[in-house]
Structure 1
Amino acid sequence: MEKREAKILWSKSGKGSDTTRITLPVAWIRKMGITTDLREVEILFDENTNKIIIQKTEIETNQ
């Protein structure tokens, strides 16, 4: 498992509410198989452990 330190970026929306962003290493995103065309992910938050999980969305094709 690889670990990196990051900072959360905070900004205000046009309506004055807070919004946040975090930058992820491109190498990790590529290893997950996420591309500019296939970029759907699921974001899960576990309140018990305070962990956020990001995983690639499984795309089902009906052929």
Structure 2
Amino acid sequence: MKETRSLKISFTKSGSGSESTRISLPVTWIRELGIDKENRDVVVELDEDKIIIKKK
């Protein structure tokens, strides 16, 4: 399955001033990887200009 979506990254600041980010992925993609509430461990890689998310 190949699908492309344009998403936005959220930036938040904690009370101590540190910054963090989040991105919401479509639940259909997460299910396609076999990830659920009981099996939610993933490996995330940064490869040049790509972020790769794989089920652990």
Measured against the shorter chain, the TM-score band is: over 0.9
Give 1 or 2 for the bigger CA radius of gyration: 1
List per-residue Cα deviations over 1:23-52 (Å, max 9, x = no partner).
0000000010000010000000013xx100
Aligned to 1:20, the other structure's residue is in SS state strand
Q: After alignment, is 35-44 or 13-22 more displaced?
A: 13-22
Kindly indicate whether residue 11 of structure 2 is the aligned counterpart of residue 27 of structure 1: no
Aligned to 2:43, the other structure's residue is in SS state strand
In the TM superposition, residue 14 of structure 1 has moved relative to its aligned partner by 2.5
Kindly indicate whether residue 35 of structure 2 is the aligned counterpart of residue 52 of structure 1: no
Report the RMSD for the aligned CA atoms in angstroms: 0.7
Residue aligning to 1:14: 15
In the TM superposition, residue 11 of structure 1 has moved relative to its aligned partner by 0.3
With normalisation by structure 2, the TM-score equals 0.93
> Would you say how many aligned residue pairs link Structure 1 and Structure 2?
55
- Percentage of pairs with the same residue: 53
**Matches of 2:13 and 2:20, distance apart in 1:** 6
With normalisation by structure 1, the TM-score equals 0.83
Residue aligning to 2:44: 43
